Amino acid sequence: MTKNKAKLIIFTGPSGVGKGTMLADFFKRVDNKIVYSVSCTTRAPRDGEINGMHYFFISKEEFEQMIKEEQFLEHACYSGNYYGTNNKFVDEKISQGKSVLLEIELQGALQVMKKRPDAITIFIKPPTFEELENRLRGRHTETEAAIQKRLAAAKEELKNIDKFHYIIENDIVDKAVDKLIKIYNKETK
Ligand code: 5GP
């Protein structure tokens, strides 16, 4: 019998690359030995986003209080808002034998790599930068100013791609998810 190995998996990639679409498909296709870590954020919910499912939407004051209380495994200010991963959630799940997937941006990913050198790190890249820009604009979820901030962040993120164990190009979603599942199985089974 193969034993399941609970791992911390960092899933990073520029805004607009399609991480959310990939993960929705991934979690439909895998076993229940892996859970998604729901982050806290100070950004406003988008249409259809549910508190506690997509994020815990909290105020800046609440977030800063949680930083003081060291409740975050990592946190970052991205595009003018705070985002952070709850320490306790991650520790609890790992101790229950579940792998935990963190969908986080680069600054947070680098913090977790330092604190948890055993984490598996995956970077999702777009086929081209132009394609990333098209996808980001096609979502119609951000203002032009926010799109510009996200594109600037994407350039920085792409410069750090070599720090990750695995790189997946998200050209065709199905194929990209196949690769993600292969990595998951290889690292945890
Ligand atoms: P969005 O506002 O589009 O939902 O997320 C913006 C960026 O923040 C995405 O790259 C997403 O992966 C990242 N992000 C989401 N949650 C966290 C978190 O807990 N920590 C960090 N560092 N980044 C996060």
For the domain that residue 147 is a member of, what is the CATH number?
3.40.50.300
Dmax (CA) for the chain in angstroms is 53
How far does residue 13's CA lie from ligand 1's centre (Å)? Answer: 10
Residue with tokens 């690769």: 179
CA distance 5 to 29: 18
Q: Is 102 a member of any domain?
A: yes
Judge whether 105 and 160 are in contact, CB under 8 Å.
Answer: no
Strands (E), the chain: 8-12, 34-36, 40-41, 56-57, 72-78, 81-86, 99-103, 120-125, 166-169
Atom number of ligand 1 nearest to Cα 39: 19
> 45: alpha, beta or left, given left = phi > 0 and alpha = psi -120 to 50?
beta
Answer yes or no: is the C-beta of 123 below 6 A from any ligand 1 atom.
no
Report the nearest-CA residue for atom 15 of ligand 1. Answer: 104
Give the 3-state secondary structure percentages of the chain, helix then strand then coil, rounded to 5: 45, 20, 35
Split into its structural domains, the chain has a count of 1
3 inside domain: no
Report whether pLDDT(2) > 60.
Answer: no
Mean pLDDT for all residues in the chain: 96
Contact 96, 146 (CB under 8 A): no
Residue 1 lies in a domain: no
Within a domain: 80: yes
106 lines ligand 1 (CB under 6 A): no
Q: Given its phi and psi angles, is residue 4 left (phi above 0), alpha (psi -120 to 50 degrees) or beta?
A: beta
DSSP 45: P
25-76 per-position pLDDT tens digit? 999 999 999 999 999 999 999 999 999 999 999 999 999 999 999 999 999 9
Q: What are the tens digits of pLDDT across the range 130-183?
A: 999 999 999 898 999 999 999 999 999 999 999 999 999 999 999 999 999 999
Q: What is the arithmetic mean of pLDDT over 77-93?
A: 96
Range of the domain at 112: 8-188
Q: How confident is the model at residue 3 (pLDDT cuts 50, 70, 90)?
A: low
Task: Tell me whether residue 2 is in a domain.
Answer: no
% of the chain surpassing 70 pLDDT = 98
N residues, the chain: 189
